[in-house]
Amino acid sequence: MTAPSGSEIKVIPIELMPKTRGYLPRGLTFLAVAIIILMLLIIMTNIILNGIGVIDWGFLSRPPEDGMTAGGIFPAIFGTVALVILMVIAVVPVGVLAAIYLQEYTRPDSYLMRVIRVAINNLAGVPSIVFGLFGLGFFVGFVGGGMDKIFGNSQGPVWGQPAIIWASLTMALLTLPVVIVSTEEALRTIPRELKEASYALGGTKLQTIGRIILPQAMPGILTGAILAVSRGAGEVAPIMFTGAAYYLPYLPSHLHDQFMVLGYHIYVMATQSPDVEKTKPILYGTVLVLMVLSFMLNFVAIFIRSNMRKKRAGG
Amino acid sequence: MPAADKILETVMEKSVETTDDRQFDINNLKMTIRDLNFYYGANQALFKVSLDIEANKVTALIGPSGCGKSTFLRTLNRMNETIPGIRMEGTVLLDGKDIYKEFKDASVIRTRVGMVFQKSNPFPKSIFENVAYGLRVNGINDSKTIKEVVEESLKNAFLWDEVKDKLEVSANMLSGGQQQRLCIARALAIRPEVILMDEPASALDPLSTSKIEDLIGELKKNYTIVIVTHNMQQAARISDYTAFFYEGVLVEFGYTKMIFSRPQKKKTEDYITGRFG
């Protein structure tokens, strides 16, 4: 393209602004990080310094004594671990199967599936106290009460009262969206080519899911389980009405027993103690144990997951 | 199935009367495709495609991108069914049996009509387990049999010598060309009758490509091969028959040497001489 002869190419003068150095954004973002780290440090040092003193073998292995102003927290540790294990047993299979259905057996982009997905995400946003009330009404009252009627427990409620099984199921319901979402995320990342390779070799859908899709999605499923465990170990509201006991001198030995749990024990000691000053060191110690316990659970799961990743990549 | 018989009859008549230059051994037809229409949602991808595939020959499908040749290939082992929102009309016969109507489960078809994909897609498993997979999902569990078949398949795919000492190593450690030959070995392990190949060498270097081509030449002794390729020279080198697709229509089909030396249609000539596509 040549300009017609006689015309001139015009250049409009513009002035580029001089660049400022980006001190401000850098400073602001750094400040945000610094605040977070500072808060974390304050919380951690406060708990560790005040809590470490009471922790010894006796504290970890004995039940509370003298109205929780002395003794240990063993029933609460036991109850927390038992609660989390039962919850995982309930939530992982249901969550994984639901995610497989949503991703593999339906058209994930269809209108109905989008509505279902929104519903699941909303489930995650329901306040935990609502789950607690639901668990009381549905599991304890309806399911448990119904079981008592069927089994004819006329002496008094056996299943139809707060118990570790109902607390675990309530907690499973609360953590279900986490497991579904992270499993779905993992299923989405599995390359279409791998599924096609399996189909092309005569693999059925079930075989493809069992032999190719699930092993590939395992790290994602574990991530979901980790998140569920972290949440489950710390939540108090959903189990207050459904199974957690204020104080129990014995350990739960049956699914329909009540149980003590660390989070609720902390709440009880902080608000209901007859002697707040005497309870304080035990309270700090309990908080420290709860934190270490959930870190440990996380750590174990992360370890398993990274091992699995290495195995998959290497051989 | 009377419907299938009727179609076969018309196939024979047609094959005889349209002999322009192709002389089909009509008793040796492996697959017969009649009046195939294919839709992705509202978009029609194939228009009334009819084609015969002779046993123990290599049939090449050529045409510009988006012409429907891969779609067509994937109707031959019902692979298209894994995509939501598709619709198909027409008949695909394998040894005279309608693969869409006379087989309840698509997985049975796929054990008889194997497939090798454009991008090598080994499972994130060991070399051995990749080849053994097809056996395991088809109910073969005897470890001695599996071992023998794995070795035989790797040998037939010209890969054995390169991997025999590292069968337990992850398939992801192999080079691109080796991975593709592993995928071929994997397809061979379940002893299919037909092997569909969707641009199997398009992502490979020239040396690996020539290895794959040599392999195809060997395989056609025992298998019927249908291959999609973008590479004209490759189609000319390795195939016995060539089908030229354009915008979802089968424009021309015949002996490869005829198609490349004396194409009957202007469109075909334009394409193979590189005037478009």
- By the CB < 8 Å criterion, does A305 face chain B? no
**pTM attached to this predicted model:** 0.80
Average pLDDT, chain A: 87
Lowest average pLDDT, out of A188-197, A272-281, B83-92, B264-273, goes to: A272-281
Q: In A, which residues are within 8 Å of B124 by CB distance?
A: 194, 216, 312-313
Q: How far is CA B268 from CA A35, B184, B241, B277, in A?
A: 70, 30, 14, 11
| Alpha-carbon distance B107 to nearest alpha carbon in chain A (angstroms) | 4
* DSSP 8-state class, residue B82: G
- By the CB < 8 Å criterion, does A281 face chain B? no
Q: Is the pLDDT of residue A2 over 60?
A: no
B29-40 and B86-94 strand pairing: antiparallel
User: What is the pLDDT averaged over residues A44-59?
Assistant: 90
Specify the residue for token string 């400040």: A31
pLDDT in tens, B17-32: 344 444 556 668 899 9
Partners of residue B255 on adjacent β-strands: B241
Cβ pair B227, B200 in contact under 8 A: yes
A193, A197, A315 member nearest B168 (Cβ)? A315
Note the pLDDT of residue A63: 84
pLDDT in tens, A282-292: 899 999 999 99
pLDDT in tens, B130-165: 999 999 999 999 999 999 999 999 999 989 999 999
Note the pLDDT of residue B4: 53
Per-residue b/e over A76-114, b at no fewer than 16 CB within 10 Å? bbbbbebbbebbbebbbeebbebbbebbeeeebeeeeee
User: What is the pLDDT averaged over residues A15-32?
Assistant: 86
Note the pLDDT of residue B37: 95
* DSSP 8-state class, residue A259: B
Partners of residue B38 on adjacent β-strands: B46, B88
Residues contacting residue A18 through CB under 8 Å, at least 6 positions apart: none
- By the CB < 8 Å criterion, does B123 face chain A? yes
Q: Which amino acid belongs to residue B110?
A: R
- Is there a contact between B123 and A201 if contact means CB atoms under 8 Å apart? no
CB atoms within 10 A of CB A59: 21
Note the pLDDT of residue B39: 94
Cβ pair A165, A83 in contact under 8 A: no
pLDDT in tens, B156-211: 998 999 999 999 999 999 998 899 999 999 999 999 999 999 999 888 888 888 88
pLDDT in tens, A86-113: 999 999 999 999 999 998 888 877 888 8
Task: State how far the Cα of B195 lies from the Cα of B63, in Å rounded to an integer.
Answer: 20
Q: In A, which residues are within 8 Å of B123 by CB distance?
A: 194, 197-198, 212
Residues 81-110 of A with CB under 8 A from B: 107
- By the CB < 8 Å criterion, does B105 face chain A? yes
Residues 216-255 of A with CB under 8 A from B: 216
At A190, list the tokens: 């599995």
- Is there a contact between A196 and B190 if contact means CB atoms under 8 Å apart? no
Nearest to A203 by CA among B214, B132, B143: B132
Task: State how far the Cα of A118 lies from the Cα of B243, in Å rounded to an integer.
Answer: 48
Tell me the ipTM for this assembly.
Answer: 0.86
Task: State how far the Cα of A94 lies from the Cα of A263, in Å rounded to an integer.
Answer: 26
Q: Which amino acid belongs to residue B221?
A: K
Total beta-carbon pairs less than 8 A apart between chain A and chain B:
75
Closest residue in A to B134 (Cα–Cα): A201
Q: In B, which residues are within 8 Å of A211 by CB distance?
A: 133, 136-137
Sign (positive or negative) of CA dihedral A209, A92, A173, A295: negative
